[in-house]
Structure 1
């Protein structure tokens, strides 16, 4: 019975996102966001003692963002017939709409809730929050955003906060959350270029996160200390995790580099100074990606405070190998396909 309820909520979650991105009116997009919110909160309930706290925090933050979003829409409708100062008012209200959407997706400096809420979630719910829940806000943001100083500030803040804040973390869920904030800065940059480039970046990022979450969820790994035991169990698991982390970091020749490659090509022609800053921040993210498995490779210590759950069957083994193969050869395969077409 519980699985049926979860399936219903997942379908409603999907429908809420579809309503938001396909609506012709701002009020319809707001309704879709609210349906999405109300269907995601029941999915957060699990055995984690912090799940209730995460649900309440998520509800309060998203409700506050929805209030700002709806308030901005009402003000735009009220002043649409005014003549004086309408340009300045529209700019201010557009910034309010953008800020509410950035708050919904957890972009810096509106990221204060994102790592704390992910800490109380299971890996599957964290995957949904890091990927699917960003689709509707990003699509709505593409309708109003342009290359302004405000968007540049958001991009720089997201890449910087996502990189630096992940350095002192020992929880893998928080590390993935700050990594998501960093990638969000790159997504906003790709969204300014083309929606097609943003879609490709989002798909590659979602695939990379899926690979890591799949491994973490199988072995129930939540903290860096658990990695020491995980790395000593199986050589294939060790290198699969290592290669998928490098792909998520955007290191060539892995699949994750393809999305960053397209953004780099555009920014190198128009905004070189911003590109240099973003690349420097990405190097910091690569540092704490490497830290996840580097210490585990050189430290052999089996007496831990955590119990490892090694439920790796043949099916999971093949899936890990398949995902790792795509991460390694994805850039080569995509290059061949592009040349073919």
Structure 2
């Protein structure tokens, strides 16, 4: 028997739940897939020797159950009304369904649970929460579009994700608020062009994987642990901060490419006010990444605040070097590809 083989079962059910939701032909099947996904992720979050993970799992379950119950109630309610009444209440239908999906992904103004849950989980579970768990609700959001409500949620998300990240000392909470900010960009893509948000999401997943693997490798959770890297060469610090700056969208790193695409498309659609808000508040998120990088490179603390378990095996080094290389030169390769083909 494999050690912790139950995790493989719940991972398979986690993926299956998402696939059921995005390929369903009825709203009840959508709800069923979301519930399978939820009940498969809860055991993966739980750790018997960690009370914080149990608390995070309980909070995640309560918020997801609230969103699912609202979704199920209105699925049943709208199934009993006539088609003519359905046309009159289409506006309410879109807002209620969109709200339940936004609560499931932690998008503002339903973001209250997301940073707290991420703080109690390990890096691998955080990676699942930031990437795979967003796929089904975001795709389902595109089925119930409401322009005014989406614009309100986009503006609220980029403001909350930018301002609340300024005073954070926990890297997990910082990435949580950064994820809320990125959700604003993704919802902008859903509102205008389906292909753009899918490309943006794929790049966001790649950058999140590179960041989480680095922090998980060095067991880093707070800023003061990064400052205590005083005895390391600049290569290690570069390995940490290039993906962070890329996630913030700093040119010429890879993370600038999806934002560049979104900016070009919004300019062609004449959404100048929305574009201005997106750029200004994204600069704030880039500011706290730059502040973190600047402090760790130029300030040295001579006292270790944590006992690190460093992994210097060759496989980890090559994997992290690959992510560093792609973040540094990925934008050049993409431009070269478009130039040639």
Q: Which category describes the TM-score, using the shorter chain as reference length?
A: over 0.9
Contact 1:48–1:121, Cα closer than 8 Å, also in 2 = no
In 1, distance between residues paired with 2:179 and 2:311? 27
1:49 aligns with 2:51: yes
In 2, distance between residues paired with 1:309 and 1:302? 18
Offset, 1:73: 1.5
In 1, distance between residues paired with 2:292 and 2:221? 12
Cα 1:92/1:134, change in 2 over 3 Å: same
Residue aligned with 1:79, SS: coil
Offset, 1:254: 1.1
Matches within 5 A, 1:153-168: 153-168=152-167
Offset, 1:210: 0.9
Matches within 5 A, 1:42-81: 42-46=43-47, 47-81=49-83
Offset, 1:243: 1.4
Instruction: Show CA shifts across 1:213-261 (max 9, x none).
Output: 1110001000000001235423211112221111101111111111011
In 1, distance between residues paired with 2:266 and 2:231? 42
Offset, 1:74: 1.7
In 2, distance between residues paired with 1:338 and 1:73? 45
Cα 1:281/1:77, change in 2 over 3 Å: same
Cα 1:101/1:6, change in 2 over 3 Å: same
Instruction: Show CA shifts across 1:138-178 (max 9, x none).
Output: 011111114x1110010011111000000010000000000
Q: Which runs of 5+ in 1 are unaligned?
A: none
Q: Corresponding residue for 1:245?
A: 244
Q: Which runs of 5+ in 2 are unaligned?
A: none
Residue aligned with 1:112, SS: coil
In 2, distance between residues paired with 1:185 and 1:112? 16
Cα 1:296/1:95, change in 2 over 3 Å: same
In 2, distance between residues paired with 1:246 and 1:231? 20
Offset, 1:80: 3.1
Q: Corresponding residue for 2:33?
A: 32
Q: Corresponding residue for 1:179?
A: 178
Contact 2:243–2:324, Cα closer than 8 Å, also in 1 = yes
Q: Corresponding residue for 1:201?
A: 200
Contact 2:230–2:302, Cα closer than 8 Å, also in 1 = no
Instruction: Show CA shifts across 1:290-341 (max 9, x none).
Output: 1222211122113133212212222111111110111111111112222333
Q: Corresponding residue for 1:283?
A: 283
Cα 1:80/1:335, change in 2 over 3 Å: farther
Paired positions, count: 338
Q: Which moved more, 1:189-198 or 1:10-19?
A: 189-198
In 1, distance between residues paired with 2:232 and 2:55? 34
Residue aligned with 2:309, SS: coil
Q: Corresponding residue for 1:141?
A: 141
Offset, 1:2: 4.4
In 1, distance between residues paired with 2:80 and 2:291? 53
Q: Corresponding residue for 1:321?
A: 321
Contact 2:211–2:244, Cα closer than 8 Å, also in 1 = yes
1:105 aligns with 2:105: yes
Q: Corresponding residue for 1:21?
A: 22
In 1, distance between residues paired with 2:24 and 2:181? 29
Contact 1:231–1:237, Cα closer than 8 Å, also in 2 = no
Q: Which moved more, 1:258-267 or 1:115-124?
A: 258-267
RMSD: 1.4
Cα 1:80/1:326, change in 2 over 3 Å: farther
In 1, distance between residues paired with 2:42 and 2:302? 37
In 2, distance between residues paired with 1:65 and 1:117? 16
Residue aligned with 1:144, SS: coil
Q: Which moved more, 1:297-306 or 1:21-30?
A: 297-306
In 1, distance between residues paired with 2:55 and 2:7? 20
In 2, distance between residues paired with 1:164 and 1:282? 10
Contact 1:205–1:248, Cα closer than 8 Å, also in 2 = yes
Offset, 1:15: 0.4
Q: Corresponding residue for 2:333?
A: 333
In 2, distance between residues paired with 1:129 and 1:2? 23
